[in-house]
Amino acid sequence: MGKKIGAGAVAGLIGGLVFDVLMRVWPMSTPGGGRISMIAFAAQVVHARNPRTGWVVYLVYAVLMGVLFAWLYRSRVRDEWATALWGVLYGFGWWLVAGLVLAPALLGHPPFSSSAVESMRDRAVPLLAGHLIYGAVFGVIFPRIGRALGGPRRPSVMADAARRAA
């Protein structure tokens, strides 16, 4: 189990780096008509003045998401493509949680309220794209890292068929 959690943390970090690059290049409008990066927005969410803090926020968030995924899916995950699909669905779920609950609450808006939805309106599309791509990258990398750390090997098609026949 510890190796699976470690694989989740490492895959989460790698997915988080991809997420971070996307959030750096995707500017968003501010209420005053200006433009800021999603990294600066992440810093605002945790009430930090330095936009570099947003970079740390995204990486910590990504690692925690990876560890939770590894814990939830324990031994069920073997195939990169199936895990990528689960990762995309997982990213979509986190987009909902982050966009409707976490970020609005940290910004002082009641979750699911009209003010929460309004505060996240311009951020929704970049966050959705980031979460979905994070999930796909994570899902492809996670089983590979798990195998590299000594986790169970992906069973062959013949071994699966023999096991089902028995």
pLDDT tens string 3-55:
889 999 999 999 999 988 888 887 776 666 667 778 888 888 899 988 889 88
pLDDT at 165 over 70: no
* Predicted local distance difference test score (pLDDT) of residue 68: 94
pTM for the full model?
Answer: 0.80
CA distance 91 to 127: 10
Q: What is the pLDDT of residues 96-150, one digit of tens each?
A: 998 889 988 998 999 888 888 887 887 888 889 999 999 999 999 998 898 888 7
Contacts of 81 (CB under 8 A, 6+ apart): 140
Cβ(95)–Cβ(133) below 8 Å? no
CA distance 38 to 162: 50
* Predicted local distance difference test score (pLDDT) of residue 34: 66
Other Cβ atoms less than 10 A from the Cβ of 82: the count is 13
Q: Where are the domains of the chain?
A: 2-150
* Predicted local distance difference test score (pLDDT) of residue 156: 47
